[in-house]
Structure 1
């Protein structure tokens, strides 16, 4: 394949090679809009999928994995949002899996939870970093910064079309489809999804699993424009008023669903609180389910029916994939799916009122 050059990208966009070089190097002097155009064009032309002379920090195939304790580390990058930090019931467990596996490999861990500026790698010593594990939603410029210096990347619960990397996911589509089929098997015919399909790749996959299960059972899922699919403030719970307004309106109209299927456990617990506040009982009036099986879901009253995501295993698998990538840098990139399981608890039951089709 013919090599894609910065000059070709410049010609494609009608800008100078100097502008393209600045944009791809992460240096200042290029506005954000121009930089995004350059990155998009470079991706479309296949620039990021070729060997571009980056320094490749990899180990020759067939050699033993290096593990000098205290000398080499793995960078763990995660955005600093409320529920995506090491104190989080979900992300904290995933980080424990990463930490445990790195310790077993004799490697250190450097957590960067809030990179400031595109050149955050300058504060680190790339010679002591073997690679990067990205956890959750991470902005493309930060991933490009790591890719630019040649570090191998493994992403957990996220993928970026501009960044060549291995990815690790829980099997969100199958898990949500299985949970939805369970609710349909209990007799529910009016099910509604709560979340935001644009919030993360996992949420989008969970919505897809829910929708496919309904369609396979001859049921019509809500419209993609439904406000409950566009909840704002997922990570802060700021959607509470919108959810309460929607539920009160449906209650007054007599069009409440018999089951609410939530994109994660935090939303499910919040939904239970709102339902209680407007005088509705879970699961007597409405069944509620979650996803992730965070510790609080089991302690909640009622305990939340959910999908168990093996959070520590996701972290451990990411480390093993990174180690494998170091030994086999040219092997095809992989998208690894970890199996999930349904956890049946008290927040779901058979519908106790007639659905519209039964009346």
Structure 2
């Protein structure tokens, strides 16, 4: 059995004092956020989190309906970017969590807070069964949750430093399958629209797309020619228009745009139509997530259905498992996505790229 990594080893590795490491990992303050992040990263690299038990679980009976009246599950979803209860994506995940908890007789408390200090005010380890993080949660917040010995599961997010159970859809395989379909119906010039750095899901979708294109020998230079990288998190229309105008001037318009999610895809269709292109007669467009607006638009959007409510429900079940069995090994649960073929994609046609 590997020896436990000590704070002194982390301090030696970083060239700082053990006092600094202790302060950063204890949650007691006294160090800057930048220093805290560096300590967390160094600790993760050395395996500090991997060989320590993250919590002491409650009794199994506490996770059953009989013991539910005294406990709830804390759902942490920082109110940033599009991660809100009103979101057609994140909101449906919350619906799945709520339904599964209600079926077990458990309550749910939603905290939309990204600050570790404010979270601690709402986090009472003795009053909650565990925590489910929905979307991107900062490493510093997850460290505080772990330090308090609270079991937690992450949905659609994976922290590279703090190990945890996670629930995802199989983004890579689903996007790979969708891209291969587009190639199969004649598309040889395809581009991905979105920012792979936005989230782990976006990165996996980008790599699934890129792999499918490269496997078919459809790119001869760097992968940059396959990507329209969008900056920011909310307004994409103008960025998309500028990118498309540049492609048109260079006579380099692809025959298909494969978008990181449905919101980007719907903006893409709108911009193309404003520029005089017909979808899918001139250009095909696909999305990902299958939000409600994807099938209400004209043309209806080809996309990948993400079982959002099921992701929430399975996160609850995974939390129950973690509470019941304090295992050292964390798990990554992948749910299958389903390609939904609709009106926004069709076989490729020869164009002059004008």
Bin for the TM-score computed over the shorter chain: over 0.9
Instruction: Give per-residue Cα distances to partners, 1:9-31, cap 9 Å, x unaligned.
Output: 22222222221111112222211
Structure 1 partner of 2:17: 16
Structure 1 residues 110 and 104 mapped into 2: Cα distance closer, same or farther (>3 Å)?
A: same
Structure 2 counterparts to residues 1-359 of structure 1, below 5 A? 1-51=2-52, 56-59=56-59, 65-67=63-65, 68-118=67-117, 120-220=119-219, 223-225=222-224, 228-233=227-232, 235-237=233-235, 239-330=236-327, 332-354=329-351
User: How far does residue 138 in structure 1 lie from its aligned partner after superposition?
Assistant: 1.1
Task: List alignment gaps of at least 5 residues for structure 1.
Answer: none
How big is the alpha-carbon RMSD for the aligned residues of Structure 1 and Structure 2? 2.0
How many angstroms apart in 2 are the aligned matches of 1:221 and 1:24? 47
Instruction: Give per-residue Cα distances to partners, 1:158-216, cap 9 Å, x unaligned.
Output: 11122121111101111101111111111111111101111110111001111111122
Structure 1 residues 290 and 256 mapped into 2: Cα distance closer, same or farther (>3 Å)?
A: same
| Contact kept in structure 2, 1:180 and 1:213, CA below 8 Å | yes
Structure 1 residues 141 and 224 mapped into 2: Cα distance closer, same or farther (>3 Å)?
A: farther
Instruction: Give per-residue Cα distances to partners, 1:266-310, cap 9 Å, x unaligned.
Output: 000000111112111111111000000000000011110000011
Partner SS, residue 162 of structure 2: coil
| Contact kept in structure 1, 2:210 and 2:226, CA below 8 Å | no
How many angstroms apart in 2 are the aligned matches of 1:19 and 1:147? 19
How many angstroms apart in 2 are the aligned matches of 1:229 and 1:151? 40
| Contact kept in structure 1, 2:191 and 2:228, CA below 8 Å | no
TM-score by length of 2: 0.93
User: How far does residue 86 in structure 1 lie from its aligned partner after superposition?
Assistant: 0.9
| Contact kept in structure 1, 2:56 and 2:326, CA below 8 Å | no
Instruction: Give per-residue Cα distances to partners, 1:92-138, cap 9 Å, x unaligned.
Output: 11110000001111111111112334352233322011111111111
Task: List alignment gaps of at least 5 residues for structure 2.
Answer: none
Instruction: Give per-residue Cα distances to partners, 1:124-155, cap 9 Å, x unaligned.
Output: 32201111111111111111111111111211
Structure 1 residues 334 and 256 mapped into 2: Cα distance closer, same or farther (>3 Å)?
A: same
Q: Which piece of structure 1 moves more, 13-22 or 182-191?
A: 13-22
| Contact kept in structure 1, 2:191 and 2:226, CA below 8 Å | no
How many angstroms apart in 2 are the aligned matches of 1:35 and 1:2? 24
User: How far does residue 240 in structure 1 lie from its aligned partner after superposition?
Assistant: 2.3
How many angstroms apart in 2 are the aligned matches of 1:174 and 1:241? 30
TM-score by length of 1: 0.92
Structure 1 residues 240 and 64 mapped into 2: Cα distance closer, same or farther (>3 Å)?
A: closer
| Contact kept in structure 2, 1:172 and 1:202, CA below 8 Å | yes
Q: Which piece of structure 1 moves more, 189-198 or 243-252?
A: 243-252
How many angstroms apart in 1 are the aligned matches of 2:27 and 2:318? 27
Partner SS, residue 293 of structure 2: helix
How many angstroms apart in 2 are the aligned matches of 1:11 and 1:119? 31
User: How far does residue 219 in structure 1 lie from its aligned partner after superposition?
Assistant: 1.3
Partner SS, residue 208 of structure 2: helix
User: How far does residue 230 in structure 1 lie from its aligned partner after superposition?
Assistant: 2.4
How many angstroms apart in 2 are the aligned matches of 1:347 and 1:222? 28
Structure 1 residues 227 and 340 mapped into 2: Cα distance closer, same or farther (>3 Å)?
A: closer
Structure 1 residues 222 and 158 mapped into 2: Cα distance closer, same or farther (>3 Å)?
A: farther
User: How far does residue 33 in structure 1 lie from its aligned partner after superposition?
Assistant: 2.2
How many angstroms apart in 2 are the aligned matches of 1:122 and 1:10? 29
